[in-house]
Structure 1
Amino acid sequence: MLSKPEGADESRHEPTKSEREVLRRIDPGSRALVIASVMLVLVLCSLLPWAGGAAGWQVLMGQTDPALKVGLLPRLFAINSTIVGIGLGALALITRRWIVAFLAGLAGVVVTFEGVIAIWSRQTSGVESPSIGLLLAVACMAILAVQWMRIVWSRD
């Protein structure tokens, strides 16, 4: 039978409960201010026009003029950017849990691509091109996704 070298048990260390708790938490540091500021700009984007004269909150609630032919993609982006960008982002900042921050980053990437497709759908609709609110909201989601992924992968 093979014998273990002396010290083999000492080098293999099981983390204690408090060490596991520390590994589950994040410290966003100064990025928290950037994230909170971008979340505020994302909220303000809902007041700006997204398609023609329709504001972001109108797209979100489905109360746009039918003549604008807003369609599903901008509305889906409005719903998901609100849930992920504001809701999940706030939850990650409050709880400071690694898994919530990871989900905010990963979902932020997906919602950013949804936003790019929403812009494309507005450009090809033939009615109204995307307005400043939609463009700014997509940029905010891209910034949020990058910031969350940087926090998740930093693990200082």
Structure 2
Amino acid sequence: MCRPVSDEEFLRKEIDAVEHQAAKRIDPGTGALTISIAVLALLVSLMLPWVGQHSGLRVVLGESAMFLPRLFSFFALGVGVLGSGVTLAVRRWGLAWVCSLGLFAGSIIGVLSIWTQQTTTSNKTIGPGPGIGLIIAVIAVVVLLVKWVKIAASRPPQL
């Protein structure tokens, strides 16, 4: 036979369930404003030149033959804009870590994108040089990386 559950046991189980759900959520606090501004900077950078006279939007659409800037644009839009928006909306720890890792990879690819636009071989310029939009986008991705790592790593230890 089942013994009846007392009110105290029922309340304890309910409180434990609420605590377990709350432990999975993040509270970005004022970091959400910084994340929003960095996402806005990423979106604005798409209108500015990235590679030569090609804007960031043209790089995303494949009008530029440069591989690394195009790969960076996918990381910046996919993880930086879309991932950050979804993570701020649902506020889950797991998504905060996904954003952190994706933005880490994106920041490395972004710095390499700038570097490949500046390097030369045998005094011949390989790339047309990084545009201001690409530089702004890389800075915005690095800012997003710092904020998401800070938020993801701030989870208190489970008891």
Q: How far apart in 1 are the matches of 2:93 and 2:17?
A: 16
Displacement of 1:75:
0.4
CA contact (8 A) 2:55 2:133 kept: yes
Q: Give the aligned length.
A: 138
Which digits, 9 at most, give the CA deviation of each residue in 1:86-124, with x for residues without a partner?
010001000000111111111111100010111111112
Structure 2 partner of 1:77: 72
1:1-156 to structure 2, matched below 5 A, reads 16-64=16-64, 70-124=65-119, 126=125, 127-155=127-155
| Partners of 2:60 and 2:119 in 1: CA distance | 20
1:16 is paired with a residue whose SS is helix
Q: Take 2:95 and 2:17, find their aligned partners in 1: how far apart are those partners?
A: 20
Counterpart residue number, 1:9: none
Q: Helix, strand or coil for the counterpart of 1:130? A: coil
- Match for 2:79: what amino acid? V
Does the aligned pair in 1 maintain the 2:75–2:103 contact within 8 Å? no
- Residues 107 and 138 in structure 2, CA contact (< 8 A), matched pair in contact too: yes
> Contact conserved, 2:50 with 2:134, CA < 8 A, in 1?
yes
Any runs of at least 4 consecutive aligned residues in structure 1 with deviations exceeding 6 A, and if so which? none
Measure the CA separation in 2 of the matches of 1:25 and 1:71: 39
Long gaps (5+) in structure 1: 1-13, 65-69
State, as a whole percentage, how many aligned pairs show the same letter.
36
**Could you tell me how far apart the structure 1 residues matched to 2:150 and 2:32 are?**
12
Structure 2 unaligned blocks of 5 or more: 1-12
TM-score, normalised to structure 2, is 0.82
* Contact 2:28/2:151 (<8 A) preserved: yes
- Counterpart CA distance in 2 for 1:130 and 1:102 is 30
| Cα offset, 1:18, TM superposition | 1.5
